[in-house]
Amino acid sequence: MIGDRIKQARKAAGLSLRALADGAGVTAMAISKYETGKSTPSSRVLISLSKALAVRTEYFFRPVKVALQELKHRKHSQLPKKALEQIEGDVKEQLERFIELEQLLPNGPLQAFKLPGELPESITTLDDIEGLARQLRKSWELGVDPIPVLTDMLEERGIKVFQSQAINERFDGMAATVGGIPVIVVGRGWPGDRQRFTLAHELGHLALKDRLAPNLDEEAAANRFAGAFLAPADEVRKELGANRSWLEPRELEVLKKTYGLSMQGWMHRAKDLGILPDTHYIEMRKFFSARGWNRKEPGDQYSPERPQLFDQLVYRALAQDLISESKAAELLRMPLLEFQKKRSMQDARAPAR
């Protein structure tokens, strides 16, 4: 078991056998033997390994172990194997902590993921997706207004959302299941609009599963759903009008800040809904590309999503004496002294006078 833990943490850290060996002050052969179960590290070596891997020693004895099923990546065809292993290792480690915490809170606030029964049974055109997205919002009582924090909304409905530092530029998101529970992964350092589109895209895969006509491309359908879910069609028409030949960049910047959908996402929504004709859409794409805005949009970044549920549940378990301070610090992946400071609110800002 310890060997599996070492291997998983090494991959999550993106380290080779040699790199971990150098960091822990042992040989690569020793690391290999630990990982294959041929040898067991001493307490001293475990402490060295924990420092090199940036984990607490309790990590090596954690009872929960997960396997990712139905694993899918976006833009993964050219992603190096090592990068994939690093992402998957990081996600598994986060999942294990979450599941361990859930087992301590059997009556926690989490519900099982279930799609509403009112959704249409079949989708024969991309335009049909607008109605499905609208119905899902209605069934989940989301109204038509922008969704302030998409991560919270998804977690409240049983989808586990994780952010990973182990993200390669060629990677645009990952989805999997664990024991039937949907899992979505985005990059922690990504702009908020990119995170939100990826979250909505992966929700689209869940909502569209077994509904798409054979002639429809699943990725294109999930993209259409993401736009429709973040910016409902009726609201887009209210914001932009029925017919446009051009969309002002400043106008798009304001809409991005309001809805958390990128400027280019708004251009695409206008095209999908017939507001912006294809020829004018192409002109706008060229305009953005010539200024490098297709890679980095102008103006301030949309604030990243910041998941709060896991931290909330850790403090709940602590308040109910279900875990110790040491266990809480381990679950939050921080030194005990740092956790104690955080718990006492020493890092909170003083109130304005």
What is the per-residue pLDDT for 353?
Answer: 39
Q: Where in the chain is the domain with CATH 1.10.260.40?
A: 1-61
Locus of tokens 């361990």:
100
pTM of the shown model: 0.81
The total of other beta-carbon atoms located within 10 Å of residue 213's CB is: 11
Long-range contacts of residues 47-53, Cβ cutoff 8 Å, at least 24 apart = 48/23, 48/24, 49/6, 49/9, 49/20, 49/24, 51/23, 51/24, 52/15, 52/20, 52/23, 52/24, 53/6, 53/9, 53/10, 53/13, 53/15, 53/20, 53/23
Which of helix, strand or coil describes residue 328? Answer: helix
What is the per-residue pLDDT for 64?
Answer: 65
Locus of tokens 């606030």:
109
What DSSP letter does each residue of 75-113 carry, written as one string? S-TT--HHHHHHHHHHHHHHHHHHHHHHHH-TT-S----
What is the per-residue pLDDT for 351?
Answer: 45
CA Rg, the chain, in Å?
A: 23
Give the Cα separation of 230 and 131 in Å (integer).
Answer: 13
Give the Cα separation of 305 and 322 in Å (integer).
Answer: 29
What is the per-residue pLDDT for 179?
Answer: 82
What ranges in 140-232 are assigned the alpha helix state H?
A: 150-156, 192-208, 218-230
What ranges in 1-80 are assigned the alpha helix state H?
A: 2-13, 17-24, 28-36, 43-53
pLDDT tens over the chain, length 353 residues: 788 878 878 887 788 899 999 999 999 999 999 989 889 999 899 999 988 988 778 778 776 678 788 877 665 556 677 777 888 888 888 888 888 888 888 666 667 899 999 999 999 999 999 999 999 999 999 999 999 999 999 999 999 999 887 666 667 788 888 888 899 999 888 899 999 999 999 999 999 999 999 999 999 999 999 999 999 999 999 999 999 999 999 999 999 999 999 999 999 999 999 999 999 999 999 999 999 999 999 999 999 998 888 999 999 999 989 999 999 998 998 889 999 999 998 765 544 43
Architecture of the domain defined by 1-61: Orthogonal Bundle (1.10)
